[in-house]
A and B are shown apart, each in its own frame.
Chain A
Amino acid sequence: MSAIEDLVTELSQLPGIGRKTAQRLTFYLLKQPVETARRLADAIRAVRDRVKACGVCGMLTDDDPCVICSDPRRDPSVVCVVEESADVGAIERAGRFRGRYHVLGGRLSPLEGVGPEALHLEHLLGRVGDGSGVREVIIATNPSMEGEVTATYLQQVLRPSGVRVTRIARGLPVGGDLEYADGVTIAQALLARRDMSEAD
């Protein structure tokens, strides 16, 4: 097999990339200066060699513990549980959460063969039960069916610990338009309404 064919085959294994796109990317790289291809290859190698799961929260990171777990200014008594490392970035961009995280590494999905044993639950239960002062666990799994059932399961397994378990709210997006929102979202927004005195 030629080197071109090798690269096309490897690229076409990536999600969302078919054979034609893989061919296009291959020929694009061949037309670039050799340094461009080297940098890409080095970056791929480095990410595999250096990135690992944080031993505390499970987030993918260069350092263990990660920058959030090792930051003394973060509140260790509030833990936000998310499905994937990318979700941490989304919440951090909002700039309002000052607690710490726990990354499950997925969500319950029977159809995909993902059960509780595939999630990083023992770490979470250990953090809640090790006397480190966790007062609240915020479940921030996605509002999909699998995310909701994962939240239900987490609530069950955390209940015996006595820790406060909360779920992120669902509702209308900022800048959204009621006229274009679907009925389910509007119903959820109405259910999660709150007194205006609480609003900031």
Chain B
Amino acid sequence: MKAIVTVMLKNGVLDPQGRAIGHALSGLGYPGIGEVRVGKRIEIELAETDPAAALAQAEEMARKLLANLVIESFKVELA
């Protein structure tokens, strides 16, 4: 079973990388570029076969290591 953890900076936390990408997209001539936010996608192969347990395990991993909850939020899905 594969867990997909998406980590994003929380709203209100400055994302200078996203802002720079937004500037670059505007520079390429795309009109109407609003806020751009950059995150991380982490895919984890799990031996666990029970979906609920796999989700719980991936959520624990996200809390312990994958996301820093001071500045980031995360979402866990199964693939």
Decide whether A and B assemble into one complex. Answer: no
